[in-house]
Amino acid sequence: MLPNNMLTTVPKLISRQHISALQSIYLTTSSQFASYNFREYFLRRSNLKFQQDLPQLVDVSGSELATDDLSQDKLRKWWKESVEELEVLQRASVMNRLYEAPKLVVEGAGRIRVAGGGGAGMEQAVGGGGQPDQAGDTIKAPTPPHSPSS
């Protein structure tokens, strides 16, 4: 399911190009979700993975990634886990597109379906709640009968 053969096997020496390619595929896959909330969540998670988690794993301040065996072992383990997560993300993205829901208001959908009266209840439907009637007079809600107090 991975589009790049370079990602199917763990490289012996992981370079910046490998990590850059993996990050690009993560962001592309994350942006393919049909659901706004899932898409935005996985884009944030992808950015966090490469901007916060990776620098904690190895020192990326130099021009090359760490070449000592311990750092490369950590990096290979991270790589393998990341590729497995990417495969899950790609499958989830496909499933999300198969069962696409209507667009949300925040996505700028052209038409917005209204499924009800806005939850205002019966008083909204008959002009109650201080709403003007068709003649322009304000309709007041009926007052409840007073109970005698003892």
* 86-99 residue pLDDT tens: 999 999 999 999 99
Kindly provide the b/e burial profile for residues 94-119, where b requires at least 16 CB atoms within 10 angstroms of the residue's own CB: eebeeeeeeeeeeeeeeeeeeeeeee
Measure the CA–CA gap between 57 and 33, rounded to whole angstroms.
28
pLDDT at 56 over 50: yes
The rounded distance, in Å, linking the Cα atoms of 21 and 27 is 10
Higher pLDDT, 74 or 119: 74
Q: How confident is the model at residue 55 (pLDDT cuts 50, 70, 90)?
A: confident
Residues in the chain: 150
Helix ranges (H only) for the chain are: 16-30, 36-48, 54-57, 69-98, 122-125
d(CA 96, CA 101): 9
Enter the pTM of the model: 0.62
Contacts of 67 (CB under 8 A, 6+ apart): 13
Mean pLDDT (the chain, rounded): 78
Q: Which pair of tokens denotes residue 145?
A: 């009968």
Share of the chain above pLDDT 70, in %: 62
Q: What's CA 62's distance to the chain center, in Å?
A: 33
State the pLDDT at residue 63.
46
**More confident site: 134 or 14:** 14
Residue 58 corresponds to which tokens in the numbers above?
A: 């190895």
Query: What percent of the chain has a predicted confidence (pLDDT) above 90?
Result: 37
Positive or negative: CA dihedral 49, 83, 17, 42: negative
The mean per-residue pLDDT over the stretch 112-118 comes to 54
Closest among 31, 29, 51 to 39, alpha carbons compared: 31
The answer, yes or no, to whether residue 13 has pLDDT greater than 90, is no
